[in-house]
A and B are shown apart, each in its own frame.
Chain A
Amino acid sequence: MTTINIMVGQAQGNVPVTILRVEGDIDAATHKALQDKASEVIESGSTHILLDLGGVEYMGSAGFRAIHAISNMLRDDDSTGLAKSPHLKLLNPTEAVGRVIKTLGFDVYLDIFQDRDEAVSSF
């Protein structure tokens, strides 16, 4: 059975940022764990999440659906949805995952950073 590890960290940008560092493949078997963890940190007050994909070698469509679901959970009621999400950003995707992000055009919807500090201070 495939499993993923999700580590939760905190950083301070202009607002407090919760960093979710994922290790393992995000696929049909594991995407729920990611969604549940995000839901858990959001319920305990996180409003801004940086999803660190540095440890993810494969992300299937289930992973992208999970990312969308997380972005939905974080959306402010007054959000117009016109710009990229100010609440969810991606950090350091591996080459393979980066390629799929680009093919599906997820970089149109979400900011992607290579540098952690830069990502945190962008919130």
Chain B
Amino acid sequence: METPLTSTENKIKTLRKCLFLKGLEDAVLKELAAKAEMLRVTEDETIVIQGETGSKMYFIISGSARVHHGDVTLANIGAGDVFGEMAVLDSEKRSASVTTESAALLLSIERDVFYEALSSDPNAFKAVIHAVLEREREIIQDVKTRSTKLMAYEKEMEIGRRIQAGFLPKSVPAMENWELASCFEAAREVAGDFYDVFRLNTLPHVAIVIGDVCDKGVGAALFMTLFRSLIRASSLYGNMGSALVDEGSDNVSLTATEVLMNSVLTTNRYIATTHGGSSMFASVFFGLLDTGSGELLYVNAGHESPIIFRKNGETELLDITGGVIGLFPAARYAVETVTLSEGDLFFTYTDGINEAKNIQGEQFTEQRILEAAAPEGNSTDTFLRIMLDAVKAFRGEADQSDDITMLALKFQSPGAVE
């Protein structure tokens, strides 16, 4: 005796739920129902495999399944749903896999059976075409809705990008006898590079900062604004006590070394303790330049070594003096000193330069930076342009996968005309 679920009547009821079949006459449905195969499957059985050709469509009478691309679930389906019908209609490869999530009872119909049943009724093809068109219209509508949403989202991203760009300096302070050039080229995907150049309030130093927040995307962009602001605020107003007591006397009691150390430690401790759970970090080179003497005090917190191209052709790398900022609250940093003399060029950059990849996946590397560099007789602007051209030529057809940030600084002898 037939159970209610497997009765012909129930099969017809199940078939009628299918969009493609809903316009068919009872007689056609009855024929399909009679020829459909009943299939009992267990949990976690893959019925349809993406990319394979198949000749059957399936109707779920009971149980549940998921439609997926590998690990990514596209839809959850259950009793009354149909799958695999596309491949039956057009003989193309399966567009997704379907795996049961519970034991299930399925009806399956072969392509040949399907077309044979249809051929018995002249109106049947018309009904199926009508149903397919109806579905196509739904898909077009869905695409329209999605693209409107996507445009709104892209607009938001563009606003975010502009806000982020506002965290980069619009202009850099003019420095007598010094030439400074900057270059920032954002990757298509939002990333977390930043640089900053600003004067301290009470010391004859100019702060030079370059940083790269780990990872990409909105998270990196948000943290970029945090790192940049903390470094600037703690440098300018780090000695809050005195700032409160007497406005305008910010950091008055701190030496340049103390300002530098205070800023790096404050920024690190704040992010490591307040945002430690997100494990976000930045590599930062932070230098304080005494524009009078050419003395550069610096902390290199896990950043690519800046390069000094000495006038006599020698090069010097400013290696790290501590680890990246933002992870370990008690991290320690050393302040180092180097002196730039007339004609020396200081160059600092982010990994968008040395890790720029060509189509073969090779990286530009520090070695190629040294080879491409043309510090002799060139202005800092020209130097950066030559470097950028070299990176772009190396990259060729490959995408720019990361932000590119560069700063170049050169000590001109007083009165020198470039």
Contact = CB atoms under 8 A, between A and B. Distances in A.
Interface in A62-118: 62, 64-66, 68-69, 72, 80-82, 102-109
B23 interface: no
A81 B330 contact: yes
Interface string B291-335: 000000000011110000000000000001011100111111000
B283 to A, nearest CB: 6
Contacts of B324: 64, 104-106
Interface in B117-158: none
A82 B329 CA distance: 8
A7 interface: no
B331 A108 contact: yes
A96 B332 CA distance: 25
B62 to A, nearest CB: 33
Contact size class for B? 20 to 34
A28 B215 contact: yes
Contacts of B280: 65
Contacts of A102: 320
A82 B328 CA distance: 9
Interface residues of A, number: 21
Contact of B214 (A64, A69, A72): A64
Given A105-B320, A108-B322, A68 B281 contact: yes
B330 A82 contact: yes
B364 to A, nearest CB: 15
A66 B329 CA distance: 17
B120 to A, nearest CB: 47
B215 A65 contact: yes
B331 A109 contact: yes
A65 B279 contact: yes
Interface string A46-71: 00000000000000011011101100
Q: Which of A61, A68, A69, A105 has the most CB of B within 10 A?
A: A105
Nearest to A66: B279
Contacts of A69: 279
B328 A103 contact: no
Contacts of B277: 72
A105 B330 contact: no
B215 A108 contact: no
B320 A61 contact: no
B279 A68 contact: yes
A89 to B, nearest CB: 15
Given A61-B215, A72-B276, A72-B277, A103 B302 contact: yes
Given A72-B277, A81-B328, A105-B302, A65 B322 contact: no
Given A72-B277, A104-B302, A109 B327 contact: yes
B302 A62 contact: no
B70 interface: yes
B327 A108 contact: no
A28 B304 CA distance: 21
A102 B329 CA distance: 19
Contacts of B327: 68, 109
A68 B330 CA distance: 14
A68 to B, nearest CB: 4
Contacts of B329: 81
A61 B279 CA distance: 10
A69 to B, nearest CB: 5
A2 B303 CA distance: 28
A90 to B, nearest CB: 14
Interface string B326-362: 0111111000000000000000000000000000000
Nearest to B321: A105
Contacts of B283: 103-104
A118 B277 CA distance: 31
B323 A106 contact: yes
A107 B323 CA distance: 8
A105 B304 contact: no
A66 B303 CA distance: 19
Contacts of A64: 214, 281, 324
Contacts of B279: 65-66, 68-69, 72
Contact of A61 (B214, B323, B330, B331): B214
20 contacts: A28-B215, A61-B214, A64-B214, A65-B214, A65-B281, A66-B279, A68-B279, A72-B277, A72-B279, A80-B330, A81-B328, A104-B283, A104-B302, A105-B302, A105-B322, A106-B302, A106-B324, A108-B331, A108-B332, A109-B331
Closest 7 CB pairs of A and B: A105-B323, A61-B214, A108-B323, A105-B302, A65-B279, A104-B302, A81-B330
